[in-house]
């Protein structure tokens, strides 16, 4: 069996976040549990779930079934926007379902009522300061909304999880996050990509890999966290193999050029 490749990380205040993880959106019941077990056995060290996915208990069972140190796995879950005002209760429910005493990352899943909602962010900071969560962040927030949280509390989110793919590439948006010390985490890397694009197929052929692997490697080489979802063990393994090659600066630039297409 080929040893799992070392997954590169990005540093958050609360610890190192693996740049490649397993997404579990739309993974339900036994499928979710089996997917997480397979990923952990293959060498993944990062699992992303959310209260709204309805599978925290399955993710928790998978974590308990695999002989792996809890501190060796980076676990993320998210607060549904309609749970603003009951943040603490939701957090404790998530911890219980996941079978853990802390989260590695807790995100506000969407801006509540489409507003930045600093009151919710203050609750996240308090949970982090109490040790229930190691790092805190947001998902689907605009730069203006992030700035509102910073203005209200003096603290930027560690992470903003947003849709990201070559077609979404926006150097200014990445720079705006970097200026604020916010790590970008991308979701739906394949759904938003033309995997038959000639640029991607040519680069894939040059490396003897798939265009999916090229897309994942592009994220990693840019320092963007990516969490492809799958319940198929072969696909989960295939995604991890994206770490077995690197892209040149020219190849990265070619893929960046797909932004806005």
Active site residue 44: no
| 88 close to 123: Cβ distance less than 8 angstroms | yes
Strands (E), 19-139: 22-23, 46-48, 74-79, 103-108, 133-139
Give 7's contacts (C-beta < 8 A, 6+ positions apart): 18, 19, 20, 43, 44, 45, 46, 243
What is the distance between the terminal CA atoms of the chain, rounded to a whole angstrom? Answer: 40
| 97 close to 57: Cβ distance less than 8 angstroms | yes
| 213 close to 238: Cβ distance less than 8 angstroms | yes
Catalytic residue among 44, 53, 141, 187: 53
| 244 close to 220: Cβ distance less than 8 angstroms | no
Q: Which residue has the tokens 């995997």?
A: 195
Q: Which helix (H) or strand (E) holds 65?
A: helix 56-65
- Which residues are known catalytic residues? 53
């Amino acid at each position: 069996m080929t040893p799992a490749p070392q997954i590169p990380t990005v540093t958050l205040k609360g610890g190192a976040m693996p740049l490649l993880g397993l997404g579990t959106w739309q993974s339900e019941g036994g499928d979710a549990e089996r997917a997480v077990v397979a990923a952990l056995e293959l060498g993944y060290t990062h699992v992303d779930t959310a209260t709204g996915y309805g599978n925290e208990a399955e993710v928790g069972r998978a974590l308990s079934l695999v002989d792996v140190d809890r501190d060796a796995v980076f676990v993320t879950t998210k607060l549904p926007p309609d749970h603003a005002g009951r943040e603490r209760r939701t957090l404790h429910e998530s911890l219980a379902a996941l079978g853990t005493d802390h989260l590695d990352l807790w995100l506000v899943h969407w801006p509540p009522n489409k507003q930045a909602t600093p009151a919710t962010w203050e609750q996240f900071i308090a949970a982090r300061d109490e040790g229930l969560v190691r790092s805190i962040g947001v998902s689907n927030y605009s730069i203006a909304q992030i700035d509102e949280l910073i203005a209200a509390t003096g603290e930027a989110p560690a992470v903003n999880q947003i849709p990201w793919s070559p077609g979404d590439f926006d150097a200014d948006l990445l720079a705006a996050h970097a200026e604020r010390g916010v790590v970008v985490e991308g979701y739906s890397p394949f759904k938003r990509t033309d995997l038959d694009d000639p640029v991607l197929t040519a680069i894939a052929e040059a490396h003897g890999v798939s265009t999916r692997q090229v897309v994942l490697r592009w994220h990693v080489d840019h320092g963007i966290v990516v969490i492809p979802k799958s319940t198929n063990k072969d696909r989960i393994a295939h995604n991890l193999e994206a770490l077995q090659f690197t892209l040149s600066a020219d190849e990265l630039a070619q893929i960046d050029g797909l932004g806005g297409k």
